[in-house]
Chain A
Amino acid sequence: MTNMEQIMKGPDKIIVIGSSTGGTHVLFNLFTDFPRINAAILIVQHMPQQMNNRLAARIQCGTKMEVSVATEGSPVIIGKIFIAPSGRHMKVFHDKEIKLFCGEKVNYVCPSIDILMMSFSKKYQGKIMGIVLSGMGKDGTEGIRHIKEIGGQTIVQNPLYSTVRSMPESAILSGYVDKILSFAEIKESMVEFAGS
């Protein structure tokens, strides 16, 4: 498949990761020696704006996938990791293109994990994985519910191993979580889900 065909079609598989307080270490661990997998990965990390590019650079150090802070209109294609920029919500438009917009904070934050996770359609039934890591509050809970409802897989970091456990616990309490895993198990699941 040519690049243009892939852009028009969208990625075969998508992994969406939501992370907040205490989650950056988990991201660093997940993306250490992380192979190029056959999926696009989208990350919302609640963080101050000045950290955006540094986080992308740090994650890039551990993987052969191409990591960047998301920009408006970027095609979501296999082999890329997009990090949501602070101060704008991120959606995936028509299941294949990044859409950024300013809006009210959701769950006290912008970007919100829920907004991103809820932007996918049933087209991704069996092809999308939603992951919630350490964090305060309940952002990601509605997103996990949505991903489960459209036929995706849902994973949360085990609250016992989370620096701040309220976000993964909130997702678990929704009843829509398939697996509760350590970061090492999450990494294995991502690779197994997408193939490398």
Chain B
Amino acid sequence: MADNKKKSLMIVDDDTDILFTIESIFQRRGFEVFKAQSGDECLEHLENGFLGIILMDVMMPRMNGWEAIKQIVERGYSDKVIISMLTAKDAPDPDLDYLKEYVIDYITKPFEPQELVALVDDYLSLL
């Protein structure tokens, strides 16, 4: 995969403060950052060819994070992305166990910017 594609990051969160904070952190580091405020918008980016890392909030209107991941898998996009959940909950819902192989990590808000950068760097090495 080309380097420019490796450095694409999508933030999916209905909280605009989170979207712009994370965008700022990663744009400064040379990432192409895509923002989505719902699962629907995340899928639109994927339909338009997004490849890269997705930081996915859980609780969102219209389509939540887990529903979006189900759609990502069903539509065959899961081999183009690395997904990490970005959530205020301290533990995933056990009912969502069947999606675990598509979610590489689980980042709990609030997060430290340096910690987030280190995690995303790790994900890049797997993409």
Residue of A nearest to B125 (CB): A58
Q: In the bound complex, what is the Cα–Cα distance between A145 and B73 (angstroms)?
A: 32
Would A25 and B97 count as touching, CB distance under 8 A?
no
Contact A54 B127 (CB under 8 A): yes
Given A135-B100, A164-B106, also A21-B127 (CB < 8 A): no
Contact of A21 among B79, B104, B126 (CB under 8 A): B104
Say whether B40 faces chain A, with CB atoms less than 8 Å apart: no
Kindly count the residue-residue contacts between A and B in the assembled complex, taking CB atoms under 8 Å apart: 69
Which of B9-17, B27-35, B56-64, B88-96 has 4 or more CB atoms under 8 Å from chain A?
B88-96
- Tell whether, in the assembled complex, residue A109 and residue B101 are in contact, meaning their CB atoms are under 8 Å apart: yes
> Is residue A55 within 8 Å, beta carbon to beta carbon, of the partner chain?
yes
Contact with B along A4-43 (1 / 0, CB 8 A): 0000000000000000111011001000000000000000
Q: How large is the interface on B (under 10, 10 to 19, 20 to 34, 35 or more residues)?
A: 20 to 34
Q: What residues of chain B lie closer than 8 Å to A24, measured between beta carbons?
A: 104-105, 122, 126
Contacts of B96 in A (CB 8 A): 136
Prevailing SS type, chain B contact patch: helix
Interface residues on A, range: 20 to 34
User: Among A22, A48, A166, which residue has its beta carbon within 8 angstroms of that of B101?
Assistant: A48
From A21, A25, A107, give the contact of B92 (CB < 8 A): A21
Partner of B126, one of A54, A108, A137, A163: A54
Q: Which residue of B lies closest to A58 (CB)?
A: B125
Given contacts A21-B105, A49-B79, A50-B80, could you give 12 more A-B pairs where the C-beta distance is less than 8 Å? A21-B100, A22-B106, A24-B104, A47-B104, A48-B78, A51-B82, A58-B126, A135-B100, A136-B100, A137-B94, A164-B91, A164-B92
**Which A-B residue pairs are the 5 nearest by beta carbons?**
A108-B98, A137-B97, A136-B100, A46-B101, A54-B126
